[in-house]
Amino acid sequence: MLGGTTTEDISATGAYLFGRKTYEKMAAHWPTAPADDPYARSLNSAPKYVVSTTLESADWQGTTVIRCDVPAEVRKLKDGSGGGIAVLGSGELVQTLIAHDLVDDYFLVVFPIVLGEGKRLFRAIEGPKKLELVDSRATSTGGLMLSYRAAR
């Protein structure tokens, strides 16, 4: 999986993969965002996949719902993808992808604020997962963007 927050990162994204909750939030905002916004352009034009057994409808143009055997369906997407597949948010989905060794790259952003609570990205996983640092960049707001590749 590949994802990022720069225009170079989004131009390399061939598809987006979401969990239901994240999809619903994204679908409520991005279809009506200004067309000159590079993120809106990428999100609205790229194929989108949402993993859900409860989603009633997926009306955001270019969306396909994945309802069963998520690991097998994601493997098919990776094999046929014309670019990186980005997962934005979608914490429960990411746990499934990590558990089935389907994450190739991790793009993490550290913001200089402590909220005191939140969800863990790396929950109970089987054995250690080794990562190799690919890139690190400071942001203009004091954050840090980290890119890691799964060491295989």
92-108: per-residue pLDDT in tens? 899 999 989 999 999 99
| Architecture of the CATH domain 7-150 | 3-Layer(aba) Sandwich (3.40)
pLDDT of residue 145: 94
Q: Where are the domains of the chain?
A: 7-150
Give just the sign of the alpha carbon dihedral 117, 118, 122, 123. Answer: positive
- How far apart CA 85 and CA 36 sit, in angstroms, is 22
Residue 124 has pLDDT above 90, yes or no: no
The predicted structure's pLDDT at residue 2: 37
**Model pLDDT for residues 131-143, shown as the tens digit of each residue:** 999 999 999 999 9
pTM of this structure: 0.84
The pLDDT value given to residue 63: 97
Asked if residue 7 has pLDDT above 50, the reply is: no
User: How many angstroms separate the Cα of 112 from the Cα of each of 9, 73, 132, 140, 152?
Assistant: 22, 36, 23, 11, 31
